[in-house]
Structure 1
Amino acid sequence: MTGPSIAGPAMRLRGLVRKESLQILRDPSSISIAFVLPAILLLLFGYGVSLDARNVPIALVIENPGSETGSFAASLVGSRYFAPAVVRDRRAAEQALLAGEVDAIVVLKGDFARRLWSPAGAPIQVLVNGTDANTARIISGYLEGAWQKWLAQYAMDQGRALAPPVTIEQRVWFNAEVRSRNFLVPGLIAIIMTLIGTLLTALVVAREWERGTMEALMVTPVRIGEILLGKLIPYFLLGMGGMALSTAMAIWVFGVPFRGSAAVLFLVSALFMLAALGLGLFISTLARSQFVAGQVAIIVAFLPAFILSGFIFDIASMPRAVQLLTHLIPARYFVSSLQTLFLAGTVWPIVLANAAALAVMAAVFLALTWRKTRKSLE
C-alpha cells in the first residue's frame, strides 16, 4: 500500500518538470532571457561602465616655460590618467573648460621655477569642473598624486633631499590593479541574475494565467507544493546555467580574478536564485498578467537591486533610513558575496551572514507564493 502513495507524488512531479522543460525548449524567449540577455548586458555594462579616470582631458597653462615646467608637463603627458593640452593663454583654457572640452585646468605661474625650492613652495592652481562631483574628486586626487610623484622624482634628479612631514606607504588589497571593472562585474552578475530569475518566472507563469492553463493544472490531483516545485526546478536549472555563463565571462572575458571557492559560489548563487524565483512566482500569482508582471518585476526587483544593492552606490553613504531599506533587497547580500568571493576569497563571516539572509528571503517568498496560490484554489 505504501508503494503507490510514494510513487504517485514523484511521478506527478516528474511529469510537471517534464512539462515545464518542454515548454522552455519550445519557447525561445526563455532561453534568450537566461543566456542571451546576460551575455549582452555583461558586454554592454562591462565595457561601457567604468569608474576609472583614463585620459582625462586637461588644459595645462604654463606662463613662463622652463626646464622645471617642461619636466612637470612631460610627467602629465606620460601619465595614462591625463591627456594634457599645453596652452599659453589662461582665458582660452577657461573657455575650453566652460565648453566642456577639458575637465580641469592646471596653471603653472610665471615664478614657478623660482619658488619651487623656497620655504613657501611653488603653488599650482587647479580648476576642476565640479558638475560631476565624483569625477571632480577623482581628478583632484590624481593631480595631487601626480604632483607629489613628480616632485619626489625631480628632487632625486637634482640631488636634493625631499623630506615631507608624512610619508605614505600604501598597500592595495584585493584589487591591486585598482580596476573598477573588477568591482563592477561581480556586482553586475547579481543585477543580471535578479532580472533573469524574477522576470523568467513572473512572465512565464503570468502567461499561463492569461491562457488559462494554470487553472486547468490546478483542477488536477497535483498539490500546490508539486506545482511550485514543477515550476521552480526547470527555471532554477535555467537560471543557474545563466549564472555559470556570466561567471565564465567575468573570469575569461573581463579578466576578473576569482579567489574564492567554486562550491561556495554555487551555494550562494543557488540560494539567491531561489529567492529571485520565489519573488517572481509571487509577483505572477498577484498580477496574472504578463504586462503587469513584467512592470512589477522591474520596479520591485531590478531597480532596487541596481540602486540599493551596493553595485555602484556605496550603502554606507546613503541616509540611515535608506540603509535600513537595503536589508530587504536580496541583491544586496548577493552583490556582497560575489565581490568577496571574486576579489577577497572565501571570507566566512561575510559569506555565511549573506547566505543566511538569502535563505530566509527565499523561504519567505516561497511561503508567500504557496499561501497565495492555495487561497486562489478555494
Structure 2
Amino acid sequence: MRLLGLIRKETGQILRDPSSIAIAFLMPVILLLLFGYGVSLNAREIPIAVVADAPDAQTAGLFAAFRQSRYFDIREETDLAGARLALRQRKIQAIIHAPADFSTKLLNPQHQAPVQLIVNGVDANQARLIEGYVTAAWQGWMAARAKQQGLDFKLPVSLSARVWFNPELRSRDYLVPGLIAVIMTLIGALLTALVMAREWERGTLEALMVTPLRLNELLLGKLIPYFVLGMGGMGLSVVMALWLFDVPLRGSLWVLILTAAIFLSAALGMGLLISITARNQFVASLLAIITTFLPAFMLSGFIFDIGSMPGWLQVLTHVIAARYFVVILHTVFLAGDVWRVIIPNTLAMLALAMFFLGISRRRIRKSLE
C-alpha cells in the first residue's frame, strides 16, 4: 500500500506537469516526423553541371544518360570557367566536363576518351556518393552504346549486387528504428533526472525518508510511473514506424518490448544517478542532455558508424546503453530475431541497468545517513 500511494503521488505530479507529457508523447512525434520526412541519407536530384567544349551527338548522348538518372539535376554550362564559379558558389555539387577531343577519341578504338569529373568535397560522404552515381551512369551509357553498335561491352569485373535487409535502400528504414533508442533515452534519463532533484529543491525528500517507506519502495515509487511513461512513448514510436513510415518489423514484438524494457531501466538508472548527484533541476537536466542524450545521438551508431570512429572513442561507446539498443532495433526491425546479435547486446544493457540502478541506490543511502 505504501508503494501504491507513492506511485499515485508521482503519477499525479506527472499529470500536473504538462512538460512531462509533452516529452513522453509529443516529442517522439516531432522527432519521428523530422527524421522520417526531413532527414535522408540518400542523395537525390543532385545539381551537377555538364560542360562540352565541342558539343555534338556523342556528348549529347553522354549527357542524356545523366539526365535519365533520378540522382541528378542536370544544368548545362557553356564553358568550364562558368561551371567552376557555380561550384564555388555551391549552386552545383559536381561538374562533368567533356574536352574538345572527346568525340574524336571515342570514335577511335585505339584511344581512350577521357571525361573529367570535378566534385565538391566539402561533404566527403556526399562526394563519394556522387562519384559512385556518375560511374554507374557512364557505365550504363557505354553498355547501351555498345549494344546499339552490336558490340560486346565487358568490364574486367562483373558485379552482381544483392542488398539484404533493406533492399529498397531507404534511409528511413534505418533512421526511424534507431531514433527510438534516442527518444527512450531522452524520456527515461531526462524525466528521471528531475525526480529526486525536485524533492531536494523542495526539501521534501527528508520528509519522505522519515515515513515508513523503505528505500527500495521509495526508488520504485519514483521510477515505475516514468517506466510506464517511457514504454508508452516507445509504443507510440513503434506504431508510427510501422503504420506511418511503413518500416518493416521482421522480428518478434515481444523481443522488442522486452529489450526496450531493459534499455529503459538502464536509462532510468542513469537519470536517477544524475538526479541524486545534482540536487538541482536545472543542473540535472543539463547533465542528462550532455551525458545521456548527446552520447546516444552521436556515439550509438544511430547516425555515425562506430567502426569509423577513433579507437579510444570506440572503447567509450561500450558504456553507452543506446549503442546496444540501436543494434537490437536495427536487427529486430530489418533482419528478424537474430539471437547471436540480440542476446549479447541485451546482456550488456542488463549489466548497465544493474550497475546504474545499484550505484543510485547506494548513493542515496549514503547521502541521507
Q: Give the shorter-chain TM-score range.
A: over 0.9
Partner of 1:6: none
Separation in structure 1 between the aligned mates of residue 169 and residue 307 of structure 2, nearest angstrom: 20
1:1-378 equivalent positions in 2, closer than 5 A: 11-116=1-106, 118-378=109-369
Following superposition, the deviation at residue 325 of structure 1 comes to 0.7
Instruction: Provide the TM-score with structure 2 as the length reference.
Output: 0.97
Following superposition, the deviation at residue 119 of structure 1 comes to 4.0
CA contact (8 A) 2:25 2:233 kept: yes
Separation in structure 2 between the aligned mates of residue 255 and residue 116 of structure 1, nearest angstrom: 46
CA contact (8 A) 2:87 2:94 kept: yes
Separation in structure 2 between the aligned mates of residue 215 and residue 153 of structure 1, nearest angstrom: 80
Which secondary structure does the structure 1 equivalent of 2:358 belong to? helix
Evaluate the alpha carbon distance shift between residue 114 and residue 24 of structure 1 in structure 2; reply closer, same or farther with a 3 A threshold.
same
Write the letter of the residue equivalent to 2:271: G
Write the letter of the residue equivalent to 1:93: A
Separation in structure 2 between the aligned mates of residue 314 and residue 287 of structure 1, nearest angstrom: 32
Separation in structure 2 between the aligned mates of residue 68 and residue 135 of structure 1, nearest angstrom: 28
Separation in structure 1 between the aligned mates of residue 337 and residue 145 of structure 2, nearest angstrom: 44
Write the letter of the residue equivalent to 2:7: V
Following superposition, the deviation at residue 170 of structure 1 comes to 0.6
Could you report, residue by residue, the CA deviation over 1:165-185 in whole angstroms, capped at 9, with x for unpaired residues? Answer: 111001011111112221111
Count of equivalent residues: 368
Following superposition, the deviation at residue 116 of structure 1 comes to 2.5
Moved more, 114-123 or 94-103: 114-123
Write the letter of the residue equivalent to 1:193: M
Separation in structure 2 between the aligned mates of residue 295 and residue 77 of structure 1, nearest angstrom: 49
Which secondary structure does the structure 1 equivalent of 2:363 belong to? helix
Separation in structure 2 between the aligned mates of residue 203 and residue 58 of structure 1, nearest angstrom: 50
Write the letter of the residue equivalent to 1:149: G
Following superposition, the deviation at residue 20 of structure 1 comes to 1.5
Q: Which consecutive unaligned segments of at least 5 residues does structure 2 have?
A: none
Identity %: 59
Give the RMSD, CA atoms, in angstroms.
1.3
Could you report, residue by residue, the CA deviation over 1:89-145 in whole angstroms, capped at 9, with x for unpaired residues? Answer: 111111111111111000112232332252443211000111111111111111111
Which secondary structure does the structure 2 equivalent of 1:58 belong to? strand
Following superposition, the deviation at residue 295 of structure 1 comes to 0.6
CA contact (8 A) 2:62 2:141 kept: yes
Following superposition, the deviation at residue 17 of structure 1 comes to 1.4
Write the letter of the residue equivalent to 1:264: V
Partner of 1:8: none
Following superposition, the deviation at residue 83 of structure 1 comes to 0.3
Separation in structure 2 between the aligned mates of residue 350 and residue 74 of structure 1, nearest angstrom: 46
Could you report, residue by residue, the CA deviation over 1:240-264 in whole angstroms, capped at 9, with x for unpaired residues? Answer: 0000111111222222222111010
Write the letter of the residue equivalent to 1:57: P
CA contact (8 A) 2:188 2:271 kept: yes
CA contact (8 A) 2:227 2:265 kept: yes
Partner of 1:7: none
Separation in structure 2 between the aligned mates of residue 256 and residue 121 of structure 1, nearest angstrom: 46
CA contact (8 A) 2:173 2:247 kept: yes
Moved more, 210-219 or 189-198: 210-219
Write the letter of the residue equivalent to 1:198: A
Following superposition, the deviation at residue 187 of structure 1 comes to 1.3
Which secondary structure does the structure 2 equivalent of 1:161 belong to? coil
Separation in structure 1 between the aligned mates of residue 76 and residue 354 of structure 2, nearest angstrom: 62
Could you report, residue by residue, the CA deviation over 1:45-103 in whole angstroms, capped at 9, with x for unpaired residues? Answer: 22222211111100000222233322222221121111011122111111111111111
Write the letter of the residue equivalent to 2:76: V
Write the letter of the residue equivalent to 2:78: R
